[in-house]
Amino acid sequence: GAGIGTAAATATAPMFHDLDEVIASPSAANERPWWVKDRELYQPTLEVDWDIMTPPDGRVSGQQTETQIHYLGSEEVKRRLSSNIMSPNVEAAINNTPGKTLRDQALGLSSIVPMMIHGISFMGPGLIPTPATTGAPKWEGTPEENSRMVRSVLTFLGAGMVGFGEISSQEREKIFYTYHKQVPNKRQVFEDVDVGYEGTDKYVFPDRKLYKISMSLPMSREMYRTSDRSSLQFAANVSRYRHFSMLQPAFQEFIRGIGYHCYGYPVPQAGPMPAAVSAILTGLAESSRNSGYCISPDYGPVSGFFTFVTDLPVEPTTPIDAGIWRFCQTCNKCAQNCPTQVIPYDKEPSWELPTLYGKPDIIHPSGKRMFYANHIECWMYCFEGGCGTCMATCTFNVNGAAMVHDVVKATLATTSMFNEFLWKADKTFGYGVKSGEEKEDWWDLSLPSMGWDTTSFSKHGGY
């Protein structure tokens, strides 16, 4: 039996001997189940109006202290931030509070350390030889070949799914951040130069044809299910930044090594554009009821997304329709379970920005018909002690090995008849938030390396 199975797998799985064979194979493109439909470029399931859209400004995000003070006042902000998840909770450690035991807290805080010591930069390290320095010709491939090559490289470096797109003038004007939330003193600009650079007060992209590369870094579903007020969930949450801090320099050097440029993040939380927007436009995910994250048909809501800008031509991937955004409009599970009740229960998404604490909303860019969450209250609660409950309780936060989950996803994508049934079904399979001592069960689970199934996206090699 085992020998026959192994032989069959070997016979049917393509064997690649080097990167050139991977690039030449048409199957190196994203492969999705039949129920994930491709849409037209710039036509995601979320309705957008480019004419009224305003660019995002990271200086007024809900995570900025100045924005919080604008709405809540300095004394209230100071009170709420007096204790936070980055500080040891001695009482919880002494009492062995589930999710906050000594070892839970040690894991949570240690998980963020590599991000602190592995510096990353907008331009990259600039350490390896390039065609310009060696005299070798630079890589010349078609956009399709380049996309397959980049996907292979990023997957090798630890990414999940990868999507691509040409950066249009409307994206430059409406989607690129004016300022990063983590580097609020440097503006993002385009200039008439051949190669971008970092200045004293700006990050400069060349005013040339550029492309975006969007990628996912999945996180541990099991750790997210220990939400909220859990250092285990915090460890999972920051894992994407830890992995990205090591991935970005390597990828930037690869792109330089073949003769092109890759503009990255100056710090792990400061990309050129909102990563969820890029993920949606390149077909990696769809919007959700919580405007703070998007949902992938492949891995659900528990993924981080990142975006590179490059002058390497790539073949665009299109937005998708997997029924996720439609389902979110009939589901409010994340809203019901939100500890701070900041996710709207509205039955229909809206073009109008909400009022926050009696003042106009300045944290959300306009031009999208969506559900707008109060990300000031959300962030402050998360910063105080960690959360992630919305992602943990999401109907799409399910493990993927059981075939029944593929049937469920296909049903969601094609009909809304069973939405209520499926809304309840995840509890039957033991999903949802863990309570009490159940949180500590994570320590005894046998799980994949890095906490997520890296074979989820593999099609070759018998995995």
**C-alpha to C-alpha distance for 332 and 328, rounded to whole angstroms:** 7
Give the residue-averaged pLDDT of 88-103. Answer: 93
pLDDT in tens, 282-315: 999 999 999 999 999 989 999 999 999 999 999 9
Query: Which is nearest to 36 in space by CA: 463, 457, 460?
Result: 457
Entry pTM: 0.89
Q: How high is the pLDDT of residue 200? A: 95
The neighbouring-strand residues paired with 48 are: 368
Helices (H) and strands (E) in the chain, counts: 19, 13
Q: How high is the pLDDT of residue 413? A: 66
Alpha carbon 296 to its chain's center: 9
Give the whole-number percent of the chain exceeding pLDDT 70.
87
Cβ proximity of 67 and 56 under 8 Å: no
The neighbouring-strand residues paired with 308 are: 213
pLDDT in tens, 210-265: 999 999 999 999 999 999 999 999 999 999 999 999 999 999 999 999 999 999 99
DSSP string, 101-130: SHHHHHHHHHTTHHHHHS---SS----S--
Cβ proximity of 388 and 228 under 8 Å: yes
Cβ proximity of 50 and 349 under 8 Å: no
Q: How high is the pLDDT of residue 118? A: 74
**C-alpha to C-alpha distance for 243 and 312, rounded to whole angstroms:** 23
> Is pLDDT at 14 greater than 70 in this prediction?
no
Cβ proximity of 120 and 265 under 8 Å: yes
Q: How high is the pLDDT of residue 119? A: 84
Q: How high is the pLDDT of residue 430? A: 66
**Cis before residue 426, ω within 30 degrees of 0?**
no
> Is pLDDT at 13 greater than 50 in this prediction?
no
Q: How high is the pLDDT of residue 17? A: 53
pLDDT in tens, 387-397: 999 999 998 88
Amino acid at 31: E
User: Is beta strand 202-206 parallel, antiparallel or unpaired with respect to 197-198?
Assistant: antiparallel
Element (H, E) at 255: helix 231-257
Copy the structure tokens of residue 245: 């801090």
**C-alpha to C-alpha distance for 357 and 377, rounded to whole angstroms:** 10
Amino acid at 3: G
Query: Which is nearest to 163 in space by CA: 286, 50, 245?
Result: 286
> Is pLDDT at 27 greater than 50 in this prediction?
no
